[in-house]
Structure formats: structure tokens, C-alpha cells
Chain A
């Protein structure tokens, strides 16, 4: 007996809705068969079962939303079947957070905000056990201390009021270092007057002045290595033929052929759609270097036409027409930057067209028919 369970179909899927059963009790099922449709809240997905057997019982009605792992159907299996994998989540042991290091100062450290809260709550911050980083007293520590203490005669600020938003302007601005210094020197910050004026924050020098101590910290030993300064940048940094012979030959030969060989022109419009479709399908199955270009079809058609009409293929010799013994179709391909090549076929019914065609590595024509204007 095996269960078909609500599968997990994504890392963020915790539950799913059974939309539809594609099997009925009594149906045989095979591993990999789609048996139900499940809505994952993103999409409806067909789901498969991993058992071989017969559907025994459908446990969940369509439309029901259940957690991943819930059995949806019971499948009775014959003989030895691998046990279904139970959905036991992987447990990862997380080490406990390391204990906060002991505070390195002899007196309690607390931020200005916490000290103000403590004062308002009537809590002596020096007596509070700090649970923050490095043993610092946190707002929660003060609040805990305040609630543990007997009710102060003074009204405490309700904790529901965000203290940091309340009466910020009342706070005296004292730098963290000055606060620490004042605590260490036993100076009451309320008595300290900033030397820079009433709008300035209380700084360390003000605390020292109030304590009557030295104006510079005694421990401030200055013992830093000095290194030569780099030279400043001065100015911005500074930024810093031809195959004429071949073309000449081509021109002379073309002029000569025009002069000595009779030319005649026939026009016929042909729908090339079928031919181009055939060619495209054929090309897709061939290495690129062996593919045909549309010009090849025209050349082949020309050769076949001349075969059909021998009167068009021959020489005028000594006042009489002499049919040619074969069909010779010539084509010259201009190779960009690499001269030109001639190809000729004497067997128009043969299959040598593609194999005699220039390779794509040397001929630009194989890259696309639009580049073949240079062919003659």
C-alpha cells in the first residue's frame, strides 16, 4: 500500500488545492502517470504518482486545500514496492549564539537614548544588567528594570509611545565620547556648558573643562608612522590596397566577352516560392558550408532548360550551327578581398552543385542571398 501525497512543486509551495482527479478508484496507475490536477496558487499543474498499483481510495475531494505531504489517495501495490518517502524535513542544527563578550569598561555603557529613557523611568542605568552587544544596556533592559521596580511616584511614559519620537528637541546633544568621559570623570552633564556656544553639542573638551582636568586626553599617545605623500597629479594623460590588377583583368575580359559573344535576353516571370521552400528545408539539415543559395537553383534551371532546347546551346562555326556536346554553365563569384572564383558544371543532371559550391569560409555568398549581387 502506498500513498499519493500532495507534492511540493516549488521551493515556496507549502500547500495546494486539489482541483481534479484524473483517476477513479479501481484504476490501475503506473509510476509517472498523471493522476490529478493541483492548483499551486500560481498555476494549475498536472501531477504524477510514483507508485505502481491500483487506486484504492481517494482521500481528498476536489476543491480541498491541504498542506504539502498530505495523503491524497491510497494506492494498493502488488509485491515488493519501494516504501514511499515520508516528508520528513531536513533538520539543520543551528549553533547557539555566542555569549556576549564581557564589557571592557569599568562603567556601564549605554547609548544617549537609553540613558534618557532610564532617567525618565527613574532607573539608575549603572545598576542595570546590560544584555546588548558588549554588555551594553539596551532599551529593553531599561524597560525591564523599570517594570521590575516598584511604581515610581512619577508617571512613567507608556511604553506604547515610541520614545524616540517623543520630545526629541528636549534632548541635550552630547557626543558618545563626551558621555563616556563624563561618566568616567564623575561629571554631571547637566552642569556642562558647551564652550562653542549653547547650540553646539557637548564634546569631550567641554566635559574636561567642567571636570577641571587637562584639555587633552592623557592616554592619547600619537605614534603613527609617517610616509612620504604621493606627488599630486599634475596634468591629464595624453590620448592617444588593393586588388586593382584583378579588377583590371575582370574588366577587360567582361568587355571582350560582350564584344565577341552574341548576347540575347529572354524574360520570363517564375514564382520561386516552392523552390525557395524546398531549398530552405534542405539547407536546415546541412552543414552551413554545404548549403545552397538561390542562385544555384537558377543556374540549375538554366542548365536543364538548355538541355531541353539544344538549339540554344552550341556554336556558330563556318557558317553553320554546331550543337554543343554538353552543357557548360559558368558562374564567377566575387570573393570579398580574396579575388574571385569560377565554378562550372558540365553535368546539369548530376548532383554536384552543392559540393562544388564555394565554402562559407571563403565566400561571402554563403552568408545570405542578398550578398550575391557580385556573382555573374
Chain B
């Protein structure tokens, strides 16, 4: 940490993630990065470019295409005192490691009566918007948020991309970080001394009093744009970024909804059995008598994500969808 006064630095989401990894590797020699093409290739999204040269092959480990083996190896290494960061290219590929994530990482501590904690961090890309079609584009973080024993975080801002990783590594239990693929090129500025952030609380990204728009990750931009449009129509929307998808920060969501009496949940996942369903259910369970309208949801259309641009756009939550849903709640 530099003692010099902080200055704003122009950067990208990708660079913020890379800086977070670099920072963690420097802070703690138990930390290492492991995954497919994280080394020589520099990461399939360029996140780890240059780290192999700085830290060497022992700590920036290229793996074979064996999600189950290297995710499980991360769990085993964590059990034996290391602090692995395991990168999986996309959430769709993580299904090949689901056995290890659910049956071991999430389960070992409880199943062993508290003996075996798994301080593992798994990073993976999620989401659509880049015309990568149905096997690279889904938003399955809601599935993972279903699993007790895991902590699920979704950095939507540069600050969180830079700050969530170290906090996740400091957690004694497994944490999965979902990075939305459309965010890597997002530009912005960060203080030169940006560092760890909490991963316990949701954040209000825009204050308002007429309706609460609850979202996270890749749809935060869409939702903020919708809030601006609503402002032009005289509706003052509040935008809550969940940040952590498990455990959900119910208090933050409910505090907002109890003020606005209306809620719209925006989630790039499919609607049925989804994270948006969970958020919606919690609002009706805990703030039923504060609601002045039905809880609305804006989700992806329930199709495998198509390739063609116009079809992909039609499948994803758009600004107009969020605006329409918000208007339905204000009558």
C-alpha cells in the first residue's frame, strides 16, 4: 500500500480483476491461480495476462480440460492449507465440476462435523450479450445460490471487481465469484489505493422513493439506464445491487421496499425457479403488508440463448422491459 495520496486511475473491469489477483498473490504466498489457459494464453478473457511472467508456473497453473479434476484439486489444496483461486472459463463449463462444488466444497465442513473447512475461491464468467449462443451464455448463478455452504458474489462495478477477491480469499469457506462477460471491457476510474470491499451487504446504486429495482451483476447497467428513463417520466426509482447472491442481504432489500412499497427484480437468469423468484418470495414473505403493488420480475425469456443478435437481444432483459415493469407497479 502506498502512502501517497490516492489519485483516480482510469482502468477497466478486466484490469481491476487482474489487479485483485496480483494483489492477493503478493499478499499471501498460499494463493495461487489455476485453470484452463490462465498462464501462457493469459486467460480466455485476458484477465490473467502477464501474471505468469510475474509469478511463474507454480503459482499460475495451466490445467488440462478437466473441470472436475482441477476444481476438486483446488478443494484438496484448500483443505491442506493453500488458498487457491480456481478459474472456470464459463458457468456452462462449471457444470462439469458441479459434483466437486456441491458434494465436496459446499458439503465437507458440515458433513465432517466442522473439521474440514474449504477456503477456496472459484471465479467464473457468466451471462450473455456477446453472441456466444447457448453453451457459453447462461446465467446459472441462481443455481449456485441455492446451495448452503457456498457464498456467491457478483461484482458489478470496478470497485467490486477490484475489491471482492481478497475478501473472498479471506473467507474460511468456499466463495464463487461470478464475473459477467459483458463487463470486462467496462471502463471507469478507481482510486489508486482501491482495496478490499465487504461481501456481506447489498448496495444502493441509485436512491429513489417510488419503486425499488433489485438487480446484480450484468443487469446493473441496464437497470440504472431504466431508472434514468423512469426519472424522465416522473418515477423516482431506487436501484439496489445485491452484490452477494448468497447469503442474500434481505435487510437492505426490505428496507428499500418498505419505503417505496414497490419492487421490480431484474435478473438475467430464467424466471422459473430463479434467484428473482427467491428475492420476490422474500419480499412477499417479509414485507407483504408494505406492498402497494404486485412484485414484478424482468428475466430472460426461457429459451437456450440464441446466437443471432436480434434474437439474443429479444431474449435478454432490456431497458424498456424494466421501465414497463416499473410502470406497472406504480399504477
Contact = CB atoms under 8 A, between A and B. Distances in A.
A–B direct touch in complex (beta carbons closer than 8 A): yes
Interface of A: 105, 109, 111, 175-180, 195-196, 200-201, 203-205, 220-222, 224-227, 229-240
Contact of B182 (A177, A221, A236): A236
Nearest to A223: B207
Contact of B184 (A175, A177, A195, A237): A237
B61 interface: no
Given A220-B209, A222-B259, A237-B45, A203 B293 contact: yes
B158 A230 contact: yes
B207 A176 contact: no
B42 A232 contact: no
A232 B238 CA distance: 18
B138 interface: no
A237 B288 contact: no
Given A231-B187, A238-B46, A176 B221 contact: no
Contacts of A205: 292, 331
Contacts of B38: none
Interface in B144-197: 156-158, 181-188
Contact of B44 (A224, A233, A234, A239): A239
A229 B187 contact: no
Q: Top 10 closest A-B pairs, CB basis?
A: A232-B221, A224-B207, A230-B157, A177-B292, A236-B130, A231-B188, A237-B184, A204-B292, A233-B182, A224-B204
Contacts of B203: 225, 227
A94 to B, nearest CB: 20
A240 B209 contact: no
Nearest to A181: B292
A348 to B, nearest CB: 44
B206 interface: yes
27 contacts: A109-B289, A176-B288, A176-B290, A177-B291, A177-B292, A178-B292, A180-B290, A195-B331, A201-B293, A204-B292, A205-B331, A222-B207, A222-B209, A224-B208, A224-B238, A225-B203, A225-B207, A230-B158, A230-B188, A231-B158, A232-B186, A232-B225, A233-B182, A234-B185, A234-B186, A236-B129, A237-B130
A234 B289 contact: no
A237 B181 contact: yes
Contacts, number: 106
A200 B261 CA distance: 17
Nearest to A111: B288
**Candidate in B130, B181, B205, B292 with the most chain A CB atoms within 10 angstroms:** B292
Interface residues of B, number: 43
Given A230-B157, A240-B46, A224 B256 contact: yes
B34 interface: no
Given A229-B224, A230-B221, A200 B331 contact: yes
Contacts of A220: 209, 259
A288 to B, nearest CB: 22
B185 A237 contact: yes
B292 A203 contact: yes
Interface in B91-109: none
Contacts of A233: 129, 182-183, 185-186, 218, 221
Nearest to A197: B331
B14 interface: yes
B187 A203 contact: no
B143 to A, nearest CB: 24
Contact of A177 (B41, B183, B218, B290): B290
B221 A180 contact: no
A220 B41 CA distance: 54
A179 B186 CA distance: 45
Nearest to A235: B185
Nearest to A238: B46
B220 interface: yes
B41 A204 contact: no
A88 B204 CA distance: 57
A237 B46 contact: yes
A180 B293 CA distance: 13
A229 B209 CA distance: 18
Contacts of B221: 229-233
A40 B53 CA distance: 65
A179 B292 CA distance: 9
Interface string B279-296: 000000000111111000
A175 B188 CA distance: 42
Contacts of A179: 289
A3 B131 CA distance: 72
Nearest to A221: B259
Interface in B32-64: 41-42, 44-46
Contacts of B46: 237-238, 240
A226 to B, nearest CB: 5
B164 to A, nearest CB: 14
Given A226-B204, A227-B205, A232-B221, A240 B288 contact: no
Given A233-B182, A233-B183, A237-B45, A226 B291 contact: no
Given A226-B207, A236-B129, A237-B14, 17 more contacts: A178-B292, A180-B289, A204-B261, A224-B204, A224-B256, A226-B205, A227-B204, A227-B205, A230-B186, A230-B205, A231-B187, A232-B221, A233-B186, A233-B221, A236-B131, A236-B185, A240-B44
A195 B46 CA distance: 55
A133 to B, nearest CB: 9
Given A230-B188, A233-B182, A240-B42, A176 B204 contact: no
Which of A179, A220, A234, A236 has the most C-beta atoms of chain B within 10 angstroms of its own C-beta?
A: A236
A225 B204 contact: yes
A226 B206 contact: yes
Q: Which of B131, B156, B225, B290 has the most A CB atoms < 10 Å from its CB?
A: B290
A234 B187 contact: yes
Nearest to A110: B289
B291 to A, nearest CB: 5
Contacts of A201: 293, 331
Nearest to B261: A177
Nearest to A175: B292
A221 B207 CA distance: 12
